[in-house]
Each structure stands twice: as C-alpha cells, then as structure tokens.
Amino acid sequence: METYELLAQLTKEERIDRYLAENLENLSRSRIQRLIELGEVSINGNICANKKELLKQGDRLVISIPDPISQTLEPQAIPLEILYEDQDLLVINKPVGLVVHPAPGHQDHTLVNALLAHCPNLSGINGTARPGIVHRLDKDTSGAIVVAKNDLAHQSLQAQIQAKTAKREYLGIVQGVPKLSQGTVNAPIGRHKTNHQKMAIIEDGRIAITHWQVLARGNNYALLKFDLETGRTHQIRVHSAYMGHAIAADPVYAHSIKGIDGQLLHAWKLTFSHPISAERICAIALPPTKFIKFLYRFLNPANIPNFLV
C-alpha cells in the first residue's frame, strides 16, 4: 500500500478533493473521491467521510492507496446454488464467507471467479474486476444476488434498483426484542470517522432508509424482515445497531457468537422485472442451516413463520 502525507498550505478554505487533485499529480479527482468513499483519506487523524470537506491551513492529510487488484481473473470451479437462470441473467444464493468480487485481500476465490467458470460471458459495465455484478452483499451476508450476462440486462436491473421497482427483502436475527411490531429507520450513513472498516450514522452521510417488521419473538432475540429503500454499505447492520437491536453475531457492530460465521443476516427474497420479457421474477433463497438452527434454539418454534419451517 502506498501512502502520501501532506500539510495543507492554503490562503482560504478549500474542498479536500479539489485540493488533493491539484497537489497530487498522479491521482485524478475522481480517483481521490473514490479513495474518500473507501475511507482511505484522513484529516488530522480522523477519516474523511465527505469529498466536500473544507480544509484549513495546516491540516495534516494522509492518503492511502491500496495495492492494485490483478486484472487477470481466473475461472474457479466454486459450487453455486442457482435459483434462476436464462440467457440474460442468473440469481445465486450466495453462501456466507464468499466475497462477491476481487478486492484488496481477496484477489480470487470470489463469486466472480465462480461465475466465470460457470458462464464466461458476463456484462462488462462494471469493468474487468466486476463482470456481471449489479449489486453486492457483504462477505458474511448470505442470500439472493442477481448477475447480468449482458449489458442490456445489467442496465435494466441497475435502473430497477435505483428506481426502487426491484424489491430486496432480508431476514435478520437481532439482539433483544423490539417493543414495536414494525417501523422505519431514516438515518444517513457514511464512513466512520476513525475506523475505515466501519460505517456509521453521520449528519452529512448519504440518505439511508430501512423498513423493518418483527416476524417472531424470543426472550433475547427476534426475527425481523427488512425492506431496503436505499442500498448503502452495511445499511441494515448499521441501522439495526442504531435501533439498539444489532444483528446477532455481527463482529463489527455487535459481537461474534461462537460457532456462527458472521452476522445472522440473509437476503431472503429478490423481486424484479425481467429485462427482456418484463415478466415479474421472484427469487427466494432459503437461509443457511446455522441461521435456521439458531432460530429454533432461541425463538419459540410456534412463532417461526411457516416458510422457514
């Protein structure tokens, strides 16, 4: 990883992205804005979460540039649970532990590597490192994810997600039991000020809206259904913790639970219109075995919804 350190020399306040683009010849403004989104830029020891942040004379800046990802992606025969497939797209039930696309620290053995072995022709809209990837799931979040085989399908699916006509429904087991049966969290999310691995509720973050509903209650845990109106990084995990009911076993926003790999959050249902036929498609991904076992151990079996029995 390459690192730059600068001491701001200014006669007046200036936006950080503009200042860095003017003072770092080998980095474009768009590249700097992306590094800010990734939490790789700090001001006086605090991670910068806003590309419009105003710098003052003497501010100490540190910019970290991750090592480049290899652009040579190898097909790897990783088993896939395919929920739906045709010539334009496929929907996968992604397992816990599988990274969606190559990133620093995860150069291979990703969903993309598995997809290339299954279907070498994928949409190229997101570049060579993310072929076919329309949206993402965290490494340890399981469930339904749609992949585009061509650019037309990719553009349609992406537009549906942005227009909120594609519906994403999640199941999550949370710590504690909410008093209300349903509600909405409307709180902006941005990069955590000091820990670039985390997101947080911050005043100048991006708008984030999550609707939730209690499906089953136990003594110390509850099963919730989440509907996303926006799709921010770690949105459900951050909003759940903000509610005071963090996702169980979340190692970042709560704490790990022995025997459970990652947070108990699952992308249960994905509904969208087919890019070519306009047929409404509903893909349902059954949660992992450990998710179901946890439910039956800590919740009243009589309260668990029939579709999980």
Catalytic residues: 138
Torsion angle of the four alpha carbons 297, 302, 304, 306, in this order, in degrees rounded to the nearest 10: 130
Read off the tokens for 197: 């691995």
Euclidean distance between CA atoms 215 and 300, whole angstroms = 11
Euclidean distance between CA atoms 246 and 281, whole angstroms = 31
Half-sphere exposure of 230 (CA within 13 A, CB side): 17
User: From start to end of 263-309, where are the E strands?
Assistant: 265-273, 280-284
Torsion angle of the four alpha carbons 299, 167, 266, 107, in this order, in degrees rounded to the nearest 10: -170
The most distant pair of C-alpha atoms in the chain lies apart, rounded to whole Å, by 68
Euclidean distance between CA atoms 136 and 101, whole angstroms = 9
Euclidean distance between CA atoms 223 and 214, whole angstroms = 6
Residue 211 DSSP label: E
Neighbours of 228 (CB within 10 A): 21
Euclidean distance between CA atoms 270 and 157, whole angstroms = 12
Nearest residue to 212 via CA among 178, 188, 189, 163: 178
Q: What are phi and psi of 36, to 5 degrees?
A: -65, -45
